């Protein structure tokens, strides 16, 4: 079972490392961190990670996964990456993403006609790329599996392991990583946070959101 996680500059590391921790514990799985080169990649908060496989040498993947993060904006116009995803998608059993990684799949034309999840602040942009936005932690539509924002990557990976290897193995992995969430605050979704706090967060995010929306519109125009 070959599982490939796209590792690219300025991604949000938990989008990748959460699913990686789950997939790496699955029996018979080989997990690849895939990029154009094997040089260290710096994530959006400064953590450096090493790719293990280059595009050119990557085997056919059973699962291809695109994490999200600020670097996703540039990735939506990266022809080499988009073509890699299209090529892998033709032979993959599952085409997947976490957070705003779904916008990259959309830019590659891989979500047209599919229901999909995304980070709450960017979910509506999926519609521009021909997908149906869904406000859920994990969305499964045929061979497309998409997770919501950041921490949803763990939920997504556990669900996919259950589908691939059975619930018993997924539950064993969940216990081994002691994934038993009990957050100190009920502020993990826009519907549950104070409206004034939500507005302040939206204002801080506004410049990046405008850049992301512009990239999504350009990607939508190319798909047409």
DSSP H stretches of helix in 66-186: 72-75, 79-91, 101-107, 152-165, 167-176
Which helix H or strand E contains 188, and what residues bound it?
A: none
Lookup: tokens for 207: 């410049």
Lookup: tokens for 169: 């193995």
> 168 φ, ψ to 5°?
-60, -45
CB 7 within 8 A of CB 33: yes
Report the greatest alpha carbon distance in the chain: 49
Quick check: helix, strand or coil at residue 28?
A: coil
Catalytic residue positions?
99
């Amino acid at each position: 079972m070959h599982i490939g996680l796209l590792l690219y500059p300025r991604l949000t590391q938990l989008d990748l490392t959460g699913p990686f921790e789950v997939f790496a514990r699955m029996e018979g799985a080989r997990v690849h961190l895939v990029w154009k080169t094997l040089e260290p990649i710096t994530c959006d908060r400064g953590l450096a990670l090493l790719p293990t496989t280059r595009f050119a040498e990557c085997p056919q993947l059973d699962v291809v996964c695109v994490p999200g993060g600020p670097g996703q904006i540039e990735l939506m116009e990266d022809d080499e990456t988009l073509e890699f995803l299209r090529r892998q998608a033709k032979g993959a059993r599952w085409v997947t993403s976490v957070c705003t990684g779904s916008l990259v799949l959309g830019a590659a034309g891989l979500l047209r006609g599919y229901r999909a999840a995304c980070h709450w602040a960017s979910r509506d942009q999926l519609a521009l790329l021909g997908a149906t936005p869904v406000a859920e932690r994990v969305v499964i539509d045929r061979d497309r599996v998409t997770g919501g924002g950041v921490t949803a990557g763990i939920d997504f990976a556990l669900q996919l392991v259950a589908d691939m290897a059975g619930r018993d193995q997924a539950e064993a992995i969940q216990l081994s990583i002691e994934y038993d969430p009990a957050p100190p605050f009920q502020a993990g979704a826009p519907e549950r946070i104070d409206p004034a706090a939500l507005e302040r967060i939206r204002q801080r995010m506004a410049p990046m959101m405008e850049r992301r929306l512009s990239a999504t519109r350009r990607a939508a125009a190319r798909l047409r």
